[in-house]
Amino acid sequence: MSKEIRVRYLDVEESINEIEQSSQSFDTELLQQLNGENVLDVRDQLERINQELTEIGEMYKEVLNMNNEAVKTSVQGLEAQDVQLSGQMRIK
């Protein structure tokens, strides 16, 4: 019993493009400025948390981009194999 796997390449590419656009609009900077006069420990903690969130957000975007590139490479490989196999089938 054989089962056919179909990849809708355009749908995959559209999804990757949507993810890339979403990651570009992902704002990683939450608190830009706190009152200059505020010297409370809370201010320092908020700045530290903001910095950590910014770093995590940037790492997330980087991982997301790496994942998208891996998906693109996989899809291109699948598409190339698909073309090669269909060409071989036509020859026979």
pLDDT band at 70 (very low <50, low <70, confident <90, very high): very high
Examine residue 55 and state whether it is found in any structural domain, yes or no: yes
Q: Is the pLDDT of residue 44 over 70?
A: yes
Examine residue 34 and state whether it is found in any structural domain, yes or no: no
Examine residue 22 and state whether it is found in any structural domain, yes or no: no
pLDDT band at 90 (very low <50, low <70, confident <90, very high): confident
Examine residue 61 and state whether it is found in any structural domain, yes or no: yes
Domain total in the chain: 1
Show the DSSP H helices in the chain as ranges.
Answer: 9-25, 41-91
pLDDT band at 6 (very low <50, low <70, confident <90, very high): confident
Residue range of the domain that includes 59: 41-70
Examine residue 51 and state whether it is found in any structural domain, yes or no: yes
Closest CA to 69 of 19, 25, 22: 19
pTM above 0.75, yes or no: no
Amino acid sitting at position 77:
G
Q: Is the pLDDT of residue 31 over 80?
A: no
